[in-house]
Amino acid sequence: MLVNDGKWNDPGEILELLGNDSRRKILQLLTKKPCYVSEISYALRMAPKVVLEHLEKLENAGLVRSYEEGRRRYYFINGSINISITISPHRFSIDIINKGFDQIDKAFNEIKNTLTESAEKKIHKMLERLEKIERTFKMLQSDISSRIDELIDRMIFELDSMGIDDISKIVLYSLIKGVDTPDKISSMFGIPYEDVVVCLTKLEGEGKVRRIEEGNIVRFRIV
């Protein structure tokens, strides 16, 4: 869902929308140029009513916007979204990075109208270089995720060799995984809340964990 600051705050909603093949095809078509309903209907062999239903959902989610020109309503993609999904033995996360660029689009179109052919070729080469950098960054991001998982594996192995009691091992394991408050640890592993607090206090006294107070929330980190 799009919120007031122009950012999407519900990755699940975006993934659900993109899970539909017809909506993906509509978005793919809109990356080429703004389109009106009949145009989308003809290009994708969909009934206009179905196209409108998909466009309404995409527009409500803030993924597309529309404007009227003459007797037609044109739809276009509302911004740039990067969806980063991490699935590993230790982590599952979905992050959305988005940036509205209406003003950039307007400025770019104004500049494009004044470009010479040679300048357009230069911009095309620059675009190719930027796309190469983007691919490199994505590979780097994947490599970093793998290395983080390797470190988590190493930390878990170290826990097994420390000779500590089972509750302490579970609590430390939780902190490694990013579950860092007593109530979350208690809920996730079914350990009584009081036992978790006692364990964390003991580990804090032994110098194995550190307490971090953020307002009314108390978090713990492995030292």
What confidence tens digit (pLDDT) does each residue in 3-47 have? 434 445 567 788 888 889 999 999 999 988 899 999 999 999 999
Q: What pLDDT is recorded for position 76?
A: 92
Q: Identify the pLDDT of residue 101.
A: 45
> How far apart, in whole angstroms, are the C-alpha atoms of residue 126 and residue 108?
15
Residue 180: phi and psi, rounded to 5, are -120, 10
* pLDDT on residue 109: 59
Residue 1 has pLDDT above 50, yes or no: no
Q: What is the pLDDT of residues 173-198, one digit of tens each?
A: 888 878 888 998 888 788 899 999 99
Closest CA to 112 of 127, 128, 97, 95: 127
Delimit the CATH 1.10.10.10 region(s) of the chain. 11-99, 162-222
What CATH code would you report for 11-99? 1.10.10.10
pLDDT exceeds cutoff 70 at 170: yes
Provide the CATH number for the domain formed by 162-222 in this structure. Answer: 1.10.10.10
Q: If we measure between CA atoms, which residue out of 100, 102, 103, 106 comes closest to residue 8?
A: 100
d(CA 94, CA 47): 33
pLDDT in tens, 51-109: 999 999 999 888 899 999 888 999 998 877 777 777 777 777 777 765 444 544 555 55
pLDDT digits (tens, 9 = 90+) for 133-152: 777 777 777 777 777 777 77
pLDDT of residue 5: 43
- pLDDT tens digits, 155-164: 777 777 777 8
Through-space distance between the first and last CA atoms of the chain, rounded to whole angstroms: 38
Q: Is the pLDDT of residue 115 over 60?
A: no
Tokens of 45: 């062999």
3-class secondary structure per residue, 166-213: HHHHHHHHHHHCCCCCHHHHHHHHCCCHHHHHHHHHHHHHCCCEEEEE
